[in-house]
Amino acid sequence: MVLTHPISVDGAPRPEGGHVVLEGVRMEFSDRVILRDLDCDFPAGKISIICGGSGSGKSTTLRLIGGLIRPQQGHIRVDGIDVAALRRTSELEKVRQKLGMLFQKGALLDSTNVFDNVAFPLRERTKLDGDEISARVRECLLEVGLKPADERLLPSELSGGMVKRVALARAIVTEPVILLVDEPFSGLDPITSRRIELLLQKVNKRSGITMIIVSHDPGSTMRLADHLLVMLPDRYVQGTPDELRNHEDPRVTSLLTHEVDDSILEVDHMLDTVIQRGPTDLDSTWA
């Protein structure tokens, strides 16, 4: 792999591609339908945010795009290539070279230190020599705001915010064109959370990378998003923040503003309970 878009150079050209489209995706786990007929479009180079109740299938959507799981139906196109149809690991790996993923809890290898964690994908997947790898890793650590002194720490010695930073560094070190981010703000204090938010924004602006972020945090969602996907138990709503701010469905506005009008608790199923019921129940509520 050749590294062509050094992320730390200001005004670097936007990488080619980075467009993700889901068409009619249906995902079920042992008879529990999690996603049904999900259609959405994540524009290239933009920050898209997925929000929805817990258990609505947000992480599942990211895992589908990464090819970690396969849908029962539908297409998941990453720059035109249908990830859902790929059967061979080698084909999948080609698509994954375009993808970076930041897992909710970081998913750092807990037996190796910060430096080795970030160097890992370079050592495994590129022919760079030791010096080039070191330079590249340091560059990325600097980019996410980590000090050289932090390099030797083990993941267990890091704070929640630092774990996210290291995970971000590891995700961008191979220069993907699409970054999948699962709940970057969960479990962080507001200040750290804001730092991570600015960091994600900076990375997006500098490298023109497509970001698909799962988040419940209304404030940062409205600030960051160019595009929104709201996952409700019975429907999916897409649009720009401005379009959705005054959406007719009160659940959409609740998720985006954090202000819950208690009347919707009576009328609608609470966002997080529907999934627990059987598929037939869900069928009847599916308008």
Partner 1 sequence: MLRLISAVGERSARSIEQLGDISIFGCQIVKCFLRPPLRFRPFVKELHKLGVLSLLIIGISGLAVGMVLALQGYIELSKYGSESSLGGFVGIVLVRELGPVLTGLLVTGRAGSATTAEIGTMVASEQLDGLRMMSVNPIDVVVVPRALAMILVMPLLNAIFTVLGLLGGWLVGVRVMGLDSGAYIGSLTASVGFQEDVASGLLKSVLFGVLVALVSTYKGFNSAPTSEGVSHSTTMCVVTASLAILVSNYFFTALWGM
Enumerate binding residues for partner 1 (CB under 8 A): 63, 66, 68, 89, 93, 96-97, 99-101, 103-105, 107-111, 120-121, 124-125, 174
* Structure token digits, residue 8: 């730390």
Cα–Cα distance, 204 to 178 (Å, whole number): 10
CB 98 within 8 A of CB 17: yes
What type of residue is 145?
A: G
Given 29, 68, 261, 279, the residue binding ligand ADP (CB under 6 A):
29
User: Distance between the two ends of the chain, CA-based, in angstroms?
Assistant: 47
C-beta contacts of 5-11 below 8 A and 24+ residues apart = 5/175, 5/207, 6/139, 6/175, 7/139, 7/140, 7/143, 7/172, 7/175, 7/203, 7/206, 7/207, 8/139, 8/142, 8/143, 8/206, 9/206, 10/206
Q: Which of 36, 46, 58, 164 is in the footprint of ligand ADP by CB under 6 A?
A: 58
Cβ proximity to ligand ADP: between 50 and 137 the closer is 50
The verdict on 59 binding ligand ADP (CB under 6 A) reads: yes
What would the two tokens of residue 82 be?
């249908």
Closest approach of Cβ 66 to partner 1, in Å?
Answer: 6
Based on the shown chain and the rule CB under 6 A, indicate whether residue 36 belongs to the binding site for ligand ADP: no
Binding site for Mg ion (CB under 5 A): 59
The partner in contact with residue 34, picked from partner 1, Mg ion, ligand ADP, none with C-beta cut-offs of 5 to 8 angstroms by kind, is ligand ADP
**68 lies in the site for ligand ADP, by CB under 6 A:** no
Residue 193 lies near ligand ADP (rule: CB under 6 A): no
Q: Which does 103 bind (CB under 5 to 8 A by kind): Mg ion, partner 1, ligand ADP, none?
A: partner 1
Does 54 contact ligand ADP by CB under 6 A? yes
Q: How far apart are CB 275 and ligand ADP at their closest, in Å?
A: 5
Residue with tokens 């709940």: 183
Secondary structure letter of residue 4 according to DSSP:
-
**Is 64 a residue that touches ligand ADP (CB under 6 A)?**
no
Instruction: Quote the least distance from Cβ 44 to partner 1, whole Å.
Output: 20
In the complex, the smallest distance separating the C-beta of residue 32 from ligand ADP, rounded to whole angstroms, is 7
Q: Name residue 260's amino acid.
A: V
56 binds, among Mg ion, ligand ADP, partner 1, none (CB under 5 to 8 A by kind): ligand ADP
E strands, the chain, are 20-29, 32-42, 47-52, 73-78, 81-82, 99-102, 178-182, 210-214, 227-231, 236-239
Task: Choose from ligand ADP, Mg ion, partner 1, none: what does 184 bind? Cβ within 5-8 Å by kind.
Answer: none
Task: Give the binding site for ligand ADP (CB under 6 A).
Answer: 29, 34, 52, 54-60, 275
